[in-house]
Amino acid sequence: MSPFNLQTCARPNILTLEPYRCARDDYKDDGTNILLDANENAYGPAVAAEDAARQDAEVDLLGLHRYPDPHQHELKQLFCDLRNTRVHTQKALTPDNMFVGVGSDEAIDALIRCFCVPGRDRILVCPPTYGMYSVSAHINDVGLVKVPLLPAPDFALDVEGIAAALSGERDVKLAYFCSPGNPTGSLLAKADIRRVLEHPTWNGVVVVDEAYVDFAPEGVSLAEWVNEWPNLVVMQTMSKAFGMAGIRLGAAFAAPPVAALLNAMKAPYNIPNPTSELARLAVSGRGLARMRGNMARIVEQRDRMVAELARTPGVGRLRGGTASNFLLYEMLDARGEPDNATALAVYERLAENRGVVVRFRGKEHGCLGCLRITVGTEEEVTRFLAALREVLADVRGGDGSVPKDEARREDVANGVIA
C-alpha cells in the first residue's frame, strides 16, 4: 500500500478549490454557435493573417528554437508609447514601469503572491466583478474582504465602505477594482479611485484592471498615474480590444519598485516568442490601425444593440454602462419583473435551440435577472436579436418552465470566469 494520500498531502485550499467554469464548459464552439459569452473581439485580431505570415518568414518561424527574451523591453516600450497620453500626468511611462505576463491573469496572481502572506493576508474585491481575483486568492490561501459596488445608478465604488474596510479590517494588502467593470461595463470615477489612494493609514496596493479600457472613451486609462502613486497598479490585456486572447499577453503598469518585484518573481521565459512577435505587431503601425477599425465596428454594433434591446419585449433595464464590448441586461418575467428563472431559461434556450451562447449573471450582486452579452459582428447581432425576441416570447408566454433544480443550474451557469 503506497503511503501517498492525496487528501492529506495536497494543500487543503487546493483540495477545496471550486474549479473555474466558463460558458464554454457547457456549450462548445462547434463552428456553428455564436459565442457572445467571453467578451472576445468579434471582428478578430489586430494582426492580419498576411502580416503574421510575413513575419514568420522574416524571423525564423518566430524564433521557436530560442528561449524568449526575459525582459521584453521592446514590447514594453510599445505599450508605454500607447499609454503616454499626458492626460493624467506629465511624467512618461518607461519599460521600468512594466510587467508583462501570460494574460492579465498572470498579473492578478503575481500581485497576490507578491503582497499577500498565505493564511493571513486578504484582498478587497467589489462584487459584481471579475471572478479570477477571488479564484487566485483562494489558490494562494488568501482571504477576501467584499465591499459591493453601488448598483444604483451605475455600479460605482462605495468609497466610504472601502475606506472603512481598509481602516477596520486587518491585513488587507490589495484592492482590486475593475474599470470598465466586468460584468457591469461601467467606468469607475477617477475621483473615487483617487480617494482610495489617498487613504491616510492603509499600507496596501490599489489594482485597477483596465482589460476593456480601449472600448471606453479615449484618455480614461489611468496607466500613467502609476508615476504619481507608488501603490497603484494598472492592468491591461491584448485579449479584448486587440482581439488576441489566443496569444495570452497581459501587461501591468506600476511604479518601478513594484514592477521590479513582479519581474523578479516571474518565471524567466514567461512570454513565448510567437506571443511577443504577434503582440509587437498588434501594438504598432498597422496593428493599431486595425484594432481601432475593429473597435469602431464594435461600438457601432454596441449602439445598435442598445437601441434594439430598448424596444424588445421582455428586456428590462441596461444595468451598468456601455464602456465595454459587452452589455448587461435584465430579462423580465411575465409580470415585468427582472427574474433569474426567466434569464436562465433564456440563456439555456438561446444556447441549446438557437446556437447563441451568452452569459448568465443573475446571481451576482445587483444583477438579478441579468444576462451579459458580448457585442458581436453585424451578422451575429442580427441573429442574436432575432433569437432573443423569439426565445423571450416563448419563455414569457407560459412555455417557460421554471427549472426544477434551479439553484444548481444557476450556479453552473453563473460560473466564475470571464
Ligand X SMILES: Cc1ncc(COP(=O)(O)O)c(C=O)c1O
Where on the chain is the footprint of ligand X (CB under 6 A)? Answer: 39, 103-105, 130, 178, 182, 209, 211, 237, 239, 245, 250, 418
CB of 111 to ligand X, least distance (A): 12
CB of 212 to ligand X, least distance (A): 7
- Residue 309 makes CB contacts below 8 A (sequence gap 6+) with 315, 318, 327, 329, 385, 388
CB of 354 to ligand X, least distance (A): 23
Length, in residues, of the chain: 418
Closer residue to ligand X in complex, CB, 332/375: 375
CB of 49 to ligand X, least distance (A): 21
Residue with the three cell numbers 521592446: 74
Q: Which residue is nearest to ligand X (CB)?
A: 103
CB of 59 to ligand X, least distance (A): 24
Closer residue to ligand X in complex, CB, 178/392: 178
Closer residue to ligand X in complex, CB, 140/342: 140
Closer residue to ligand X in complex, CB, 178/395: 178
- Residues 326 and 373 sit within 8 Å (Cβ to Cβ): yes
CB of 211 to ligand X, least distance (A): 4
Closer residue to ligand X in complex, CB, 216/245: 245
Closer residue to ligand X in complex, CB, 135/346: 135
CB of 299 to ligand X, least distance (A): 18
Closer residue to ligand X in complex, CB, 395/418: 418
Closer residue to ligand X in complex, CB, 340/374: 374
CB of 235 to ligand X, least distance (A): 7
